[in-house]
Amino acid sequence: MSDTLHEMTAAELGEALAAGKTSAVEIARSFIARAEAVDEKVHAFLHRDDEDFLAQAHASDERRSKGESLGPLDGVPVAVKDVISVKGQPLTAASRILENYVSPYDATVIVKLKHAGALVWGRLNLDEFAMGSSTENSAYGATNNPWDLACVPGGSSGGSAAAVAAREAPLTLGSDTGGSIRQPAALCGVVGMKPTYGMVSRYGLAAFASSLDQIGPFSQTVEDAALLLQTISGHDPLDSTSYPAEVPDYHRALAEKPGPLKLGLPKEFFGEAIDEEVRKLVDEAIQFYRDDGHEVIEISLPMTDLSIPVYYLIATAEASSNLARYDGIRYTHRSDRAENAIDVYAKSRGEGFGEEVKRRCILGAYALSSGYYDAYYLRAQKARTLIRRDFEKAFEQVDAILTPTSPTPAFRQGERNEDPIAMYLSDVFTISTNLAGLPALSVPCGFTEAGLPVGLHIIGQAFKETDLLRVANAYDTVHSFGRKVPQL
Amino acid sequence: MGESQEMDIGYVANLARIELSEEEKEKFRGQFGDILKYFDRLSEVDVEGVEPTAHAFPRHNVWDQDEARPGFSAEEALANAPAQRLDQVVVPKVIEE
């Protein structure tokens, strides 16, 4: 069994453990061996603590032998994007400025995973401070797409997506501010989900744009996404924006097929420049829903055109404020060229931050600065209201919205590096859902002729993750594109 | 906001407390010009009388019990500090003599 353990889903691993067909230690060893075999090519991990991983696995096996198993994730590995705090483990956010930082506490999602017996393992690569769409902005080297190593895995959670695609972990956590879970999931051929804003605590997540950031799961299947989401969701007094909503039993809800639904195709999205093969595969997925008895209608989200400028103004403004904490004083790199207090800030940050982080912090400071606040930041917040209303109106007509996740399949390393706007446009289909706070996921819907995966983006209604997961599962159980393993 | 204006990079970089090299300033100048021009499409939308959105699902008056909870020891809190002495962070002098 150990030869194939690393290819199994979390649900399958849970069943095998419950049936006594394998052990958590055997599972941990299998994933360590897999990472040893392929991560040199993929570079999904920035750091691995295999000893700690095995110790957690031993503890899990011990619990199970005493009949004290903690549930379906007990003994199942979950690898973590390097922006989520795990006590005693490094957190670099792929930045030089946090090169030597060690987290003194667990993020709430990590506390929940540990309570569920999951094996919390490794630190996964990303664009520095989650700013980027290709994982090329990492200070510690890019991650490569497991389907074509010359291509990017998407970003910013590129390591999280690539690790699941390369079968280095059955489940991973990422964070999504404008598409940073869904776009890499699409480009790597796995499932990635951003929950409704407030469903998952952000406590212990290194903040990028606080009003947009959400932590969410990566997996091979929608079923696994439901399992992981179940474990990490719920109100948290330590995050004042966490929403006091009940967490439904997502996994059980999947057993129910969705009744006949109305699904909307926003004409503004399909009018955008979309790669021909992406369009064809997404069209086929949409046809599946028609054949499955659902009604598909055209809808309009007239403010779509504004979402990129609105997003980049709000996200950079929030980032410039959030990243002020990396100041060279309390817990970051400190420049040894500094002669006075202001110098410590400016030089430490100048040395510690990479180019995209500098670009965004300066752009955000500009949008917030005296004389420009009304024209840029406030105006963007007002336009954000209009974008939100577009969705509210659309959801009076439909139950869910279908779009491509990304306008193109994975692009080549270096292709969009020097052109920030081209890179920003990678997120054109995903960012408006963050602005509106809605849940959305990407489910693999096939491969291009070159063998690159494509994702179908499904947007749901606020706090109705159950419906969203059911819609996605209806497609995923029939097609299972996320089960295909890349040749590495 | 109308036509985008040229940004004074040195001034804004100082606001952001980020030291930039001359090459970075030169590179960013062109890129910011393009980005701000792209943002100008925002000036065309009518937002008269529209309430701004700060959070998608705003929550107000989030209260917490005023109870003591265990926190970090000085050692834990300072474990990541770049310079420390006597349970305190060491910083450059901020008061002129």
Q: Which residues of B touch A338 (CB under 8 A)?
A: 92
Q: Do the beta carbons of residue B16 and residue A365 sit within 8 Å? A: yes
Q: Determine the length of chain B.
A: 97
3-class state of residue B88 by DSSP: strand
Can you give the pLDDT at residue A259? 86
Tokens linked to A187: 């480009």
Is A339 buried (19+), middle (13-18) or exposed (0-12) by CB count in 10 A? Answer: exposed
Can you give the pLDDT at residue B97? 67
Give chain A's radius of gyration (CA, Å): 21
Distance from CA of A45 to the nearest CA of B (A): 22
Tokens linked to A364: 């955000």
Contact A361 B93 (CB under 8 A): no
One digit per residue, the tens of pLDDT, for chain A of length 488 reads 666 999 999 999 999 999 999 999 999 999 999 999 999 999 999 999 999 999 999 999 999 999 999 999 999 999 999 999 999 999 999 999 999 999 999 999 999 999 999 999 999 999 999 999 999 999 999 999 999 999 999 999 999 999 999 999 999 999 999 999 999 999 999 999 999 999 999 999 999 999 999 999 999 999 999 999 999 999 999 999 999 989 999 999 998 888 899 999 999 999 878 999 999 999 999 999 999 999 999 999 999 989 999 999 999 999 999 999 999 999 999 999 998 888 999 999 999 999 999 999 999 999 999 899 999 999 999 999 999 999 999 999 999 999 999 999 999 999 988 788 888 888 899 999 999 999 999 999 999 999 999 999 999 999 999 999 999 999 999 999 999 999 99
A451 touching chain B per CB within 8 A: no
Closest residue of chain A to B34, computed from CA coordinates: A421
Can you give the pLDDT at residue A2? 64
Phi-psi category of B83—alpha, beta or left, where left has phi over 0 and alpha has psi -120 to 50? Answer: beta
Tokens linked to A17: 């453990």
Q: Do the beta carbons of residue B85 and residue B96 sit within 8 Å? A: no
The confidence band for B3, taking pLDDT boundaries of 50, 70 and 90, is very low
B15 touching chain A per CB within 8 A: yes
Question: Phi, psi (5° rounding) for residue A266?
Answer: -70, 120
* Beta-strand relationship, A262-266 and A400-404: parallel
Domain boundaries, chain A: 5-262+465-483
Across the interface, of A310, A339, A346, the residue whose CB is closest to B17 is: A346
Give chain B's radius of gyration (CA, Å): 23
Residues 6+ apart with CB under 8 A from A330: B80, B81, B89
Among the listed residues A311, A260, A314, A312, the one whose alpha carbon sits nearest the alpha carbon of residue A289:
A260
Flag whether pLDDT at B2 surpasses 50: no
Can you give the pLDDT at residue B7? 84
A443 forms beta bridges with A456
Closest residue of chain A to B13, computed from CA coordinates: A362
Can you give the pLDDT at residue B1? 43
> How far is B52 from A475, CA to CA, in rounded Å?
37
Domains and CATH numbers, chain B: 9-44 (1.10.20)
3-class state of residue B78 by DSSP: helix
Tokens linked to A299: 């809808």
pLDDT tens per residue across span B29-64: 999 999 999 888 899 999 999 999 998 987 788 787
Tell me how crowded residue A445 is: count the other CB atoms within 10 A of its CB: 27
- DSSP single-letter state for residue B79: T
Contact B54 A420 (CB under 8 A): no
Q: In what order do the strands lie in the sheet with A45-47?
A: A45-47, A119-124, A77-81, A171-176, A214-219, A191-194, A440-447, A453-459, A400-404, A262-266, A295-299
SS (H, E, C) chain A: CCCCHHHCCHHHHHHHHHCCCCCHHHHHHHHHHHHHHHHHHHCCEEECCHHHHHHHHHHHHHHHHCCCCCCCCCCCEEEEECCECCCCCECCCCCHHHCCCECCCCCHHHHHHHHCCCEEEEEECCCHHHCCCCCCCCCCCCCCECCECCECCCCCCHHHHHHHHCCCCCEEEEEECCCCCHHHHHHHCCEEEECCCCCECCCCECCCCCCCCEEEEEECCHHHHHHHHHHHECCCCCCCCCCCCCCCCHHHHCCCCCCCCEEEEEHHHHHCCCCHHHHHHHHHHHHHHHHCCCEEEEECCHHHHHHHHHHHHHHHHHHHHHHHHCCCCCCCCCCCCCCCHHHHHHHHHHHHCCHHHHHHHHHHHHHHCCCCCHHHHHHHHHHHHHHHHHHHHHHHHCCEEEEECCCCCCCECCCCCCCHHHHHHHHCCCHHHHHHCCCEEEEEEEECCCCCEEEEEEECCCCCHHHHHHHHHHHHHHHCHHHCCCCC
Provide CATH code, domain A5-262+465-483.
Answer: 3.90.1300.10
Contact B91 A341 (CB under 8 A): yes
Across the interface, of B18, B54, B56, the residue whose CB is closest to A361 is: B18
Among the listed residues A158, A142, A122, A119, the one whose alpha carbon sits nearest the alpha carbon of residue A47:
A122
A366 touching chain B per CB within 8 A: yes
Distance from CA of A306 to the nearest CA of B (A): 6
Can you give the pLDDT at residue A421? 83
B31 touching chain A per CB within 8 A: yes
Q: What is the mean predicted confidence (pLDDT) over B67-79? A: 93
Can you give the pLDDT at residue B5? 60
Residues 324-343 of A with CB under 8 A from B: 324, 327-334, 338-343
Q: Which residue has the higher pLDDT, A85 or B6?
A: A85
Residues 264-293 of A with CB under 8 A from B: none
Tokens linked to A209: 């744009």
> How far is A351 from A343, CA to CA, in rounded Å?
12
Q: Predicted ipTM?
A: 0.93
A59 touching chain B per CB within 8 A: no
Residues 6+ apart with CB under 8 A from A356: A127, A128, A131, A132, A137, A420
Residues 6+ apart with CB under 8 A from A380: A309, A310, A313, A314, A317, A367, B42
Tokens linked to A218: 């990566």
Q: Which residues of A are catalytic?
A: 81, 156, 180
A197 forms beta bridges with none
Amino acid at B8: D
Closest residue of chain B to A212, computed from CA coordinates: B55
> How far is A317 from A311, CA to CA, in rounded Å?
10
Contact B79 A104 (CB under 8 A): yes
- DSSP single-letter state for residue B45: S
Contact A369 B81 (CB under 8 A): no
Flag whether pLDDT at B4 surpasses 60: no
Flag whether pLDDT at B6 surpasses 80: no
Among the listed residues A376, A382, A307, the one whose alpha carbon sits nearest the alpha carbon of residue B51:
A382
B57 touching chain A per CB within 8 A: yes
Give the helix/strand (H/E) hosting B84.
Answer: strand B84-85
> How far is A129 from A357, CA to CA, in rounded Å?
7
Q: Which residues of B touch A211 (CB under 8 A)?
A: 54-56
Q: Do the beta carbons of residue A160 and residue A172 sit within 8 Å? A: yes
